[in-house]
Amino acid sequence: MLNENYARGLLETCGAAPGLDGLRGRRVLVTGATGLIGSCLVDALLLLNETRDMGIEIFAAGRSELRLRQRFGAAMDDPRFHFVPYDATKPPRFDFEADFIVHAATSAHPLAYATDPVGIMQANIVGAMNLLEALKGWGRGRFLLLSTGEIYGENPVFEAGFSETDTGVIDTMKPRACYPEGKRAAETLCAAYAAQYGVDAVVARLCHTYGPTFTAANSRADAQFLRKALDGEDIVMKSAGSQVRSWCYVADTVAALLTLLLAGEAGQAYNVANRHAVASIRDYAQTLADIAGVKLAFEIPPETEKAGYTRVTRAVLNPAKLEALGWQPRYGLRQGLEESWRACVKTLRTH
């Protein structure tokens, strides 16, 4: 079963999403179901079934059934829970039709950008196209693409944050561009399938999402900080940490995704960010260090790791368009980090 505090917070947050009855009795396919965001979304759907008898049929897609069972335990024995073998780089073989597809499958961490940029682009572009093709064939359903605020690139002029019509600079000749450019292409595929075939697609542009559902493979700085803190070690920063980011606790992000599934306008992109959680990476790390009772240290990263870092100095997103749909985040940065800390210390799920 889920950690009680994590489950309560997730249910309170997602339970406030507008129009939740639109999920009742529906089929929801989640790719990347064991990832940071995908797994939290699956947790939320399971909780809605358990506490509100929503009758949602959950199709959790991933490469490994064993990994899914390790993450969700006995929940996989629920007759409304289905494992779907899925590789984003290969055409899927679905023996069902879904009402909603949430495409959360991606390797969103720096080490992968540095060591497998081709694979990153393949997964982002081919994965989106294959799922859009599935919806085209079904002739129904809604597609929600999890994109990224990295598509805006570098443009510190937008002090109040990037809105959905703003653009910045991405150096396309740097392999590190594999991630934002792959997501940009996936977004354009959504627009193209909508225009040419009438596919219903919505895009969520996520800011830096954090939380206790991070995976072992996640090499992002915030995941490394939390690992160190949980081990009782000093949090190690490998830069000055002056880059400013929008941050969002994973439960708030999942509530935003549910809002977009049910109330987002087809063919539109929405920033998912907490306007009250804008901080430098150093401030983020120091807040976590204070919560965990450890120190903040600095070291020079190896070149392979450094190659995966983004050079964007200010990645702040303006969430006004999403807020207009009725979404509001519940967790400030400190509250979200405290929630993450408690959930990890007590373990996220017991079997």
Per-residue pLDDT tens for 8-60?
A: 999 999 998 999 999 999 999 999 999 999 999 999 999 999 999 999 999 99
Per-residue pLDDT tens for 248-306?
A: 999 999 999 999 999 999 999 999 999 999 999 999 999 999 999 999 998 876 765 55
With 0-12 CB in 10 A as exposed, 13-18 as middle and 19+ as buried, what is 173? exposed
User: According to DSSP H, which parts of the chain are helical?
Assistant: 4-14, 36-52, 65-72, 110-115, 117-138, 178-197, 221-230, 250-263, 281-292, 303-306, 320-323, 333-345
**Cα 203 from Cα 271, distance rounded (Å):** 9
**Cα 236 from Cα 225, distance rounded (Å):** 7
pLDDT at res. 208:
95
Asked if the model's pLDDT at residue 114 lies above 90, the reply is no
pLDDT at res. 222:
87
Specify which of 124-128, 154-158, 224-228 reaches the highest per-range mean pLDDT.
124-128
pLDDT at res. 112:
81
Q: Where are the domains of the chain?
A: 4-213+247-278+314-335
pLDDT at res. 157:
67
pTM: 0.94
Give the pair of three-digit tokens for residue 109.
Answer: 């961490």
State mean pLDDT over 153-168: 83
pLDDT at res. 186:
98
pLDDT at res. 350:
55
Asked if the model's pLDDT at residue 87 lies above 80, the reply is yes
| End-to-end C-alpha distance for the chain, whole angstroms | 6
Give the pair of three-digit tokens for residue 338.
Answer: 């405290």
Taking the CB of residue 318, how many other CB atoms lie within 10 A of it? Answer: 18
pLDDT at res. 351:
42
Per-residue pLDDT tens for 128-143?
A: 999 999 999 999 999 9
Specify the fold of 4-213+247-278+314-335. Answer: Rossmann fold (3.40.50)
The answer to whether the CB of 66 falls within 8 A of the CB of 90 is: no
